[in-house]
Structure 1
């Protein structure tokens, strides 16, 4: 019985003390009560100066500043290896026929027409010529290219016929024929041709182009102000055609270069990409050696932001004797 009474008395005592402590805290001044309740806490608004004193952290400024970049230099140079491109042109035999014999008579028409075909690459082939030697003939000779008559008349000796580019196709049909003798039925029109050749100037484009690359960073792209390609063409002016330079498939330069003189081409900065960029050099005629190749880029200095903010008087310590490490003074 005594043990039950003792337990009840202890519980009542603890409850009374708890109520008194709560009342005591509630009647404390707000600053003392806040310091008492936050003492020893670990939240983001307070800390310790190492001596056991609590320090309240106050956020003075908060702003999302975005991406911050750093550039050491405002100019950069990208050296590019030398480039040699050439497109040599040479005369070539496109089709050769040792001999041709055609004859048209009243009772013999089987050999009245001779037809042959030949192929060309229209892009690389120019100045196509037919040549042959007449060793025997009677009457007129007709020559057609792709069903278009290119010659009609009597001929002897050596003959050269230049074919128009507009008449040529990738695959071509060449036809030799003689007409019917007509009322002179006892005669026959005939032609004996030897060494029939079709020749043309063919350009080899195998080594006519070359590709080089350079890379820039995203930071450089973001601050790009201007870009220039420099080069020195070594060539013979009378032997070369236009030099074409492309950046990422956009034309930078398309003209006959000034041989032996350092040249340049301005680059549209919108055509330059962050990462790898492709330079393509090509020529349709002659030979170029491009050395001292270099891409120069100029960069704007990044604009570093400066922020200003006010600090309320309540954060300044007015009593020097009560100043603590970490307060604003």
Structure 2
């Protein structure tokens, strides 16, 4: 009898161990399968991308991305930019300098001299040659490249500078100095000794001649854009001779000597603008201009806030009535720095909220809902609101 009881006890122990092993295997299986399969196996809502639904969500009634929402009646937006300046600086500077040179011409020898200098037609103007004369006889001849620049006897110790014509200048230039032949007077020597030879010009620095500013236009703002105006005040010296060029996104919108101190307004075609980053570029060929108080004002068509729809079936409505279920509205924004103020309209019932958080959540009063289709609108109070996600969940 005791042997029989011992066998029964041993069988019960083995069965218990087997059950424990099976339970461990099942738990390990659940832990190691994918989250989606585990959620299906346990009857839970599968996890999704982003922040996901509120914990305990039984059903998602609405999930949408409203984007940027505008307050009703506000159809004008100003995009201000910092004041900025464009300018050029012109100074006289040397292109080439030589301490002295000596040239002569006789029946028995001929000696000329050459000076090489470089020229940039964009930055350089009013190029001149100057020198002092220490010794002279005969006619001084100067060639600029293949062009005879000068031929005359020079008796003044400090003659007037000689202008080098722009039409005959190249990137690399040659000035050749020579003296006329004595002719039949073979015993004579024509010669010149020149000192302090200087080739100079007015050099313009264009490093500050161009500057840019940026402004941004939202997707919804661009879609509803009707017209745009660019305004600025050019601050410059009276009788400034330079020309001011203004481009938006590489499209020319202004080219003229501006009226200094007078506010300018320029209509901008929608084709010149784009959603996202826009670039304003100012430049000048000469002079100095302060682009003061620049701004782009956009005028939009009348905007109606779009409603979003979700459905409440009879079973869910009854569950809410008996307190077995609730419906949560969730708004997710783009930042935690701005204060968001808006009205939530559900089937015409309005509630106001104000938050600086990234996410705003509230339970929807069952009295606001009805069986079948329901509507919800988010209406900003003043400033636009960027709504990344609008969710309505059953909990």
CA distance in 1, matches of 2:283, 2:241: 12
Matching of residue 83 in structure 1 with residue 84 in structure 2: yes
Indicate the residue corresponding to 1:188 in structure 2.
Answer: 189
- CA contact 1:74–1:300 (8 Å) conserved in 2: yes
3-state SS of the aligned residue for 1:221?
helix
Indicate the residue corresponding to 1:294 in structure 2.
Answer: 295
CA distance in 2, matches of 1:259, 1:135: 51
- CA contact 1:232–1:261 (8 Å) conserved in 2: yes
Deviations 1:195-223 (A, max 9, x none): 11111111111111111111111211111
Per the TM alignment, residue 253 of structure 1 is displaced from its structure 2 partner at its CA by: 0.8
CA distance in 1, matches of 2:266, 2:153: 58
3-state SS of the aligned residue for 1:237?
coil
CA distance in 2, matches of 1:290, 1:84: 6
- CA contact 1:133–1:156 (8 Å) conserved in 2: no
Per the TM alignment, residue 300 of structure 1 is displaced from its structure 2 partner at its CA by: 1.2
CA distance in 2, matches of 1:282, 1:272: 19
Q: What is the number of equivalent residue pairs in this alignment?
A: 241
Per the TM alignment, residue 108 of structure 1 is displaced from its structure 2 partner at its CA by: 1.8
Per the TM alignment, residue 105 of structure 1 is displaced from its structure 2 partner at its CA by: 1.1
Contiguous gaps of at least 5 residues in structure 2: 1-65, 307-369, 373-395
What is the CA RMSD across the aligned residues, in angstroms? 2.2
Per the TM alignment, residue 118 of structure 1 is displaced from its structure 2 partner at its CA by: 0.8
Deviations 1:224-279 (A, max 9, x none): 11111111111103344011111111111111111111112221210101111111
Higher strand fraction (1 or 2): 2
Per the TM alignment, residue 69 of structure 1 is displaced from its structure 2 partner at its CA by: 8.0
Larger gyration radius, structure 1 or structure 2: 1
Normalised to the residue count of structure 1, the TM-score between the two structures is 0.69
3-state SS of the aligned residue for 1:238?
coil
Indicate the residue corresponding to 1:140 in structure 2.
Answer: 139
Normalised to the residue count of structure 2, the TM-score between the two structures is 0.58
CA distance in 2, matches of 1:326, 1:239: 73
Deviations 1:281-327 (A, max 9, x none): 1112121112111111111124799xxxxxxxxxxxxxxxxxxx979
- CA contact 2:244–2:284 (8 Å) conserved in 1: yes
CA distance in 2, matches of 1:142, 1:235: 46
Pairing of 1:72-111 with structure 2 (within 5 A): 72=71, 73-109=74-110, 111=111
Matching of residue 152 in structure 1 with residue 145 in structure 2: no
Indicate the residue corresponding to 1:262 in structure 2.
Answer: 263
3-state SS of the aligned residue for 2:200?
strand
Pairing of 1:202-241 with structure 2 (within 5 A): 202-241=203-242
- CA contact 1:133–1:159 (8 Å) conserved in 2: no
- CA contact 1:106–1:181 (8 Å) conserved in 2: yes
Indicate the residue corresponding to 1:276 in structure 2.
Answer: 277
CA distance in 2, matches of 1:159, 1:68: 73
Indicate the residue corresponding to 1:14 in structure 2.
Answer: none
Segment drifting more, 79-88 vs 283-292? 283-292
Contiguous gaps of at least 5 residues in structure 1: 1-66, 306-324
Alpha-carbon spacing, 1:141–1:96, altered in 2? closer, same or farther (3 Å) = same
